Chain A
Amino acid sequence: MTVGRLVNIAITNLGLIFSVRGRTFPDIRPWSGKRGTMSVPEAVYLWQQPYLAAVCETDNGLMMIRIYEALAAIEQRRLTPVEPDGDEDRALVAAEVGLKALIAERIGEVNG
């Protein structure tokens, strides 16, 4: 699975399941050759910002730095109570799963 595909899956999951608001912008990319809209994920919770930065990171040299920052932000959030099985709890679990997938892929690239 490529990084691009994983990013697409993560962003799709974020948008559909875990209450990350999607803002709609006009598609002004000149190379796309078509008019339409594209959805950009926006963090609902403060800890989601570094998570989204990790998911959207394309520079392999910065990937582990971004992932670590996201893990630290999640750990920091977990220090205070989160409503069990609430929206934020589910978003946290989803982010942890997403980060583990990113790590597994990155480690696979390094070793393979």
Chain B
Amino acid sequence: MSNTEQATGIAVLPDAANTIQTFHPVSKRLLIADDDPTVRGVIRTFVEADGYEVCGEAADGVEAIDRAAKLKPDLILLDLAMPRLNGAEAASILRQAMPKVPILLFTLYADDFGERLASAVGVNVVLSKPEGLSKLGKHLKALLNPKDEPPTSASSRA
């Protein structure tokens, strides 16, 4: 027991100061599904910097469905091209299982993967990969805080 603990009778966590600084009271929990671990790492770092919590990662659609059922995320980020079960297939299953959880789909084919198909499989927002993460922050904010003004995007129906 440290001197502080002896004097106060309260156990002090070693990283208490950091914990207080980084604690986000309304932190939303995200699930990231992409078959490329490098991409998952980039998205994780990006969203964590924005104050979101990544509650889990998945390498394919099947894993995404499994993790989503266990972790109950507030939002799911899916890549379209994934092994076993692609993002669109996973989205349609996830939409039935978790109707209120927003789903965001990253794809290289945003032009082809149109609004109708996105709507059919239950995806809230389709983001073009070449557009990168620049629009992700605004979409996350709009999807997780519906009172905020939604961003304007041709592929978005959020």
Residues of A participating in the B interface, judged by any CB pair closer than 8 Å: 64-69, 71-73, 75-76, 79, 96, 99-100, 103, 106-107, 110
Q: Whose C-beta in chain B lies nearest to the C-beta of A99?
A: B38
| Proximity string of chain B (40-80) to chain A, C-beta cutoff 8 Å, 1 when within and 0 when not | 01110110110000000000000000000000000000000
List the A side residues contacting B46 at CB < 8 Å: 64-65, 68
A-side interface mostly:
helix
Given A65-B134, A100-B38: A72 in contact with B129 (beta carbons within 8 A): yes
Is B144 close to A, CB under 8 A? Answer: no
Q: Whose C-beta in chain A lies nearest to the C-beta of B44?
A: A107
Number of chain B residues close to chain A: CB under 8 A: 16
B45 and A64 form a contact (CB under 8 A):
yes
B-side interface mostly:
helix
Beyond A64-B46, A103-B41, list 7 extra A-B contacts (CB 8 Å). A64-B45, A64-B49, A68-B39, A68-B42, A69-B132, A71-B39, A72-B130
Q: Whose C-beta in chain B lies nearest to the C-beta of A76?
A: B108
List the A side residues contacting B133 at CB < 8 Å: 64-65, 68-69
Out of B36, B49, B134, which one reaches A71, CB within 8 Å? B36
Q: How many A-B residue pairs have CB under 8 A?
A: 50
Q: How far is the CA of A100 from the CA of B45 in the complex (A)?
A: 13
Out of A66, A75, A103, A110, which one reaches B129, CB within 8 Å? A75
A79 and B132 form a contact (CB under 8 A):
no
List the B side residues contacting A69 at CB < 8 Å: 130, 132-133
A77 shortest CB reach to chain B, Å: 10
B42 and A72 form a contact (CB under 8 A):
no
List the B side residues contacting A103 at CB < 8 Å: 38, 41-42, 45
Given A65-B46, A79-B108: A107 in contact with B41 (beta carbons within 8 A): yes
List the B side residues contacting A64 at CB < 8 Å: 42, 45-46, 49, 133
A70 shortest CB reach to chain B, Å: 9
A9 shortest CB reach to chain B, Å: 19
